[in-house]
Structure formats: C-alpha cells, structure tokens
Chain A
Amino acid sequence: MGTLGRVIYTVGNWIRGSGQALDRVGSRLQGSPYFHEHISRHRTLMNVFDKSPLVDKDVFVAPSASVIGDVQIGKGSSIWYGVVLRGDVNNISVGTGTNIQDNSLVHVAKTNISGNVKPTIIGDNVTVGHSAVIHGCTVEDDSFVGMGATLLDGVVVEKHAMVAAGALVLQNTRIPSGEVWGGNPAKFMRKLTDEEIEYISKSAENYINLAHIHAAENTKSFDQIEVERALRKKYANKDEDYDSMLGIVRETPASLVLPDNVLPEKTSVRVPTTHY
C-alpha cells in the first residue's frame, strides 16, 4: 500500500480513536464506568498445576469449550461448544469417536459421601447429549446419554444402554446393557430395540463427520474467513440453477460446499424412533 494508502489508513485510525473517545465521554456522562475491552483470555486447553490435558490431534475441541487438568481424549472425539471437562481433582478419560455435545459438564469427584472416588471414564463411540452433567461416572462404549441428563457419582452406564433426556440418575446406579432409563429419579423405562442400538452407533459416527466440518471452520484464519464471506455474498444472489436454462454453468466454490457425509442420506427405511 502506497503512501496515500497509508495516510488514509492512519486517518481511519484517528477517526476510530475519536469515535471511541466519544463513546467514553458518553459513558462517563451516563455514569457508567468506561468498559475496557480485553482480548479473550479464555483458554481452551488449560493446565491445572502440573496436570495437562492430552488431546489427540484428530479431536475437535470447540474454542468455547474448556478442557482443564488431567483429561485424555482419544482420536475422532468431539468436544462441542461450551463444554467443560474439568479434570482438576481426578482423571477424565474420553475414548475414541465419542461426542460430548454443547454445554455439557464432565467433572470428577475428589471425595464422596460413600468414600470411594472414581475417575470419570467415558468409553468409545459414546454420545453425550446437550447440557448433560456427568460427575464421577463410568460410561461404557456405544452408549447414549440423553440431553439434559444428570449422572451423579458412581453411576455406571453399560454398553448399548441409554439414559433418556432429562433423567436424573442417582449415585451408584448401574444402568444395564440394552435398557432405557429415565425420569427423576431414573428408573427402568423399557428395553432398547436392535434398531435403536444400531442408531446409537450411527449417531456417534455422524457426529464424527460433523465435528470435522466444525473443526475446519473454527480453525480458519482471519483472511480465510474474509475471503469466504466475500464468496458467500457473491454467491448469495445467484446460485447454481439460476441461469442454468440459458446454459450458463455456475459452480459453487469448493470451499462453500459441505461434504456429502454430513447431509442426510436418502434412505427409504422408516425407523420408528428419533434419528440423531
């Protein structure tokens, strides 16, 4: 950028500065203290004393998540927005292909009323729904913790088991394989059908694919974001079919296309329960 460009840039900077000064004056007149904005100090992966998280390179950890302390996360897992994995007093280990969805909390207990303290172990291909609270539990492979569920100390969720949404599972409950437990306090509700068990694994797999997209998006640099914003704006008016009858071929830019494995497959099989 030449000298003129630099001059204009500096003038722009002055104008921004005076704008902020005006804002400060206005705030002072209002009586509110001037709020000084800081850079975000949120640390996604944070050590506590000497315990540091060990996170595989293939894991998607959302920037707003907090992985603190003694946590191990295996390959292909995803930690979504707002999740807190607090391994400060004990160990948390999350297996491969597991997804811990938005706003959940995984914590461990140091002391317990009953006295036995267990680390939290979440197995492979587990789906932990939104806003779940998991405190000192063992969740075995291929199981499903519904959204909003609260699992208290010492709970064991066996393989292929499901905790229904909103359940409150009391201390030291063992949820046997192939069953759905729910309610407050959690009780046996029904047995899982084979299709549902298959869907648990399918949902974990879908989430692995989804996590890749979110991971790619969240790690973009400022320049990439700006370029794509311009592309999107340009593409917003005329999409692929717009002039296709005239024979004009328009192609969505590659960076704006989502990979196929995230979009729903067109299956003719109707499953009676919810799809994840």
Chain B
Amino acid sequence: MATSLARISRRGIAYALSSNLIRRSFAAEAVVLKTTEVPKPISEVTPSPDRVKWDYRGQRQIIPLGQWLPKVAVDAYVAPNVVLAGQVTVWDGSSVWNGAVLRGDLNKITLGFCSNVQERCVVHAAWSSPTGLPAETLIDRYVTVGAYSLLRSCTIEPECIIGQHSILMEGSLVETRSILEAGSVLPPGRRIPSGELWGGNPARFIRTLTNEETLEIPKLAVAINHLSGDYFSEYLPYSTVYLEVEKFKKSLGIAV
C-alpha cells in the first residue's frame, strides 16, 4: 500500500516536472525539446542534454543521404511507417507496406514494377557481394516479398514469390518464376533455378512448379497491387497534421 502510494506520487512528480520543462523549453525553441538531465556517472556514458526525446515530426519516410534521394513512383503505395533511405527506387504500381525499412545507404535498392515488399521487411544492400557481381538489391517486376523478410544484396528476377519471414543473404539469386517457402534462409551466393519451389533453413529444393502455379505468381502481385490502391487512396498527398501543429504551438504561445 505504501509502496504503491510512493510509486504513484513519484510518477506524479516526474510527470509534473517533465511537463513543466516541456512548457519552458517550447517557449524558447519551437522544434527541439530540451530536457535537463542529470548525468548519472555509470562508466563512460555521457548523455547529451540536447537529445530530442520526442520529435513531433515522427520519423521521416524519405531520408536522402548526400546526393541520393529515394524515388517513389506516383502510383506506388509506400506506407507512412516505412523508412526509405539513400538510393532506393520504387517503381510504378509497387507497394511497400507498414514497418518496412529499405536502406539503400551502401548500395542501390530497386523495387520493380508491380512488386510488393510486405510488412516489416528489411531490405539492405552491402558494399560488395561474395559473387563479385554488383551488390545492389534488385527486386524485379511482379515479385511478392512476404512479410518479415530480410533481403540483403540479392537479386530477385521477375515473377517470384518470396515467402514470409525468409532471409536472403548477400549475392543470392532467385531466378524467374520460382517460389521460396516461408521461413527459408538462402545462404550467401545461393541460386534458386527457374520454376522451382525451395524452402527450409538452409533452403533446399522441394519440387518443380506446375505451369498453373507459375501463372498464379504474377496474379498475386497484381492482386496486391489492387489492394495497395485502396490504401493509397486513404492518404491525401498532404496531411492535415500541420493544423494540429499550429494549434499546439498556439496553445503554447509560440509564434506560428
């Protein structure tokens, strides 16, 4: 009883302190929140008093690095949660779903026509690949990359399906019209021949695909393209958050 009371009062005090600090610092500067922190002497950690703990802008979707600016086609759907950094090109009709991170800071990442990178994927590219070929990540047209996949410096040829939670390591090549089962791990430099179904950790051959299954692959990509159209129309090209920001600033007495 006493401990919970102590905890509640501690929380109350902490809350009051932080909100006061926020008000004071917001009056001074609109963008950066300063919180005065007493540095606890734990080994070598020296925290900066200027570190922003909360930025009202959230995470930017498109992060240019130097001269590289991620390019998104006009009808491609990129969820607001996504982080595109560096040399990333998202071509027409493709979609990048929630929580994905496409980090083209070391090498190029291309997402081809009508392809989709589903939720929470991480697509990265290393500087060089063990195969000696260019280490850029190329996801060609009509490819479906399932949720939670990790792609690193791999090449995925047209019309493939990569199962959920799969891991494609550097230099791997998935040839056209093949399917990777969910949870498969492709070791560096692995090549999946055309028209086959592979799976497992490490990926092993399971069977060849029938012609009907092969025809289904681009249909899946197109279906997801239609789905992404619905999501795309939910977002206005300009958000209305600026009204909230202006209201917020006005309430704190900062010049808008």
CA distance A82 to B56 in the complex (A): 17
List residues of chain A with CB within 8 A of the CB of B55. 40, 44, 63
Which of the four size classes fits the interface of chain A?
Answer: 35 or more
Within 8 A of A (CB), among B230-251: 234, 236, 238-241, 243-245, 248
Knowing that A42-B59, A54-B47, A55-B51 are A-B contacts, what are 9 other residue pairs whose CB atoms are under 8 Å apart, sorted by A's residue number? A43-B54, A57-B48, A75-B45, A130-B152, A131-B120, A217-B85, A258-B66, A274-B129, A274-B188
Binding site secondary structure of chain B: loop
Contact A275 B126 (CB under 8 A): yes
Q: Within the complex, which residue of B57, B67, B81, B124 is in contact with A232, where a contact is CB–CB below 8 Å?
A: B67
**Chain A min CB distance to B77 (Å):** 17
What residues on A are CB-neighbors of B245 within 8 Å?
A: 39
Of residues 98 to 125 in A, which have CB atoms within 8 Å of B's CB atoms?
Answer: 101-103
Partner of A214 from B105, B130, B171 at Cβ < 8 Å: B105
Q: Is the CB of B248 within 8 A of A39?
A: yes
Q: Name 24 interchain pairs, CB-CB below 8 A, sorted by A.
A: A38-B241, A39-B245, A39-B248, A43-B53, A44-B53, A54-B45, A55-B47, A57-B50, A64-B58, A72-B42, A81-B85, A81-B103, A102-B101, A130-B150, A131-B120, A210-B105, A214-B65, A217-B65, A228-B64, A229-B64, A232-B64, A235-B67, A274-B129, A274-B171
Given the known inter-chain contacts A40-B56, A55-B51, A63-B55, please indicate yes or no for A273 contacting B64, CB distance below 8 A. Answer: no
Residues on A lying within 8 angstroms of B by beta carbon are 16, 20, 23, 35-47, 49-50, 54-57, 61-64, 72-75, 80-82, 96, 101-103, 129-131, 147-148, 165-166, 183-184, 210, 213-214, 217-219, 221-222, 228-229, 232, 235, 252, 256-258, 262, 264, 272-276
Q: Which of A56, A166, A222, A275 contacts B128, CB < 8 Å?
A: A275
Contact A96 B44 (CB under 8 A): yes
What residue of chain A has the Cβ atom nearest to residue B124's Cβ?
A130
Contact A38 B83, beta carbon cutoff 8 Å: no
Task: Kindly provide the distance from the CB of A269 to the nearest chain B CB, expressed in whole angstroms.
Answer: 11
| Cβ distance B39 to chain A, nearest Cβ, rounded Å | 8
- Asked whether, in the complex, the Cβ of B66 is within 8 Å of the Cβ of A74, the reply is no
> Is B205's CB within 8 Å of the partner chain A?
no
Q: Does B122 contact A (CB under 8 A)?
A: yes
Stretch with Cβ within 8 A of A (4 or more), from B6-14, B108-116, B220-228: B6-14
Are the CB atoms of A50 and B10 closer together than 8 Å? yes
**Is residue B204 within 8 Å, beta carbon to beta carbon, of the partner chain?**
no
The residue on B at minimum CB distance from A276 is: B126
**With contact pairs A96-B44, A274-B130, A275-B128 given, residues A218 and B63 touching in the complex (Cβ less than 8 Å):** yes
Instruction: Please give me the residue from chain B that is nearest to A67 by CB atom.
Output: B53
A42, closest chain B residue (CB): B58
Chain A residues whose CB sits within 8 angstroms of the CB of B43 once the complex forms: 72, 74
Q: Is the CB of A264 within 8 A of B52?
A: no
Give the residue among A36, A54, A221, A273 with the most B Cβ atoms within 10 A.
A54
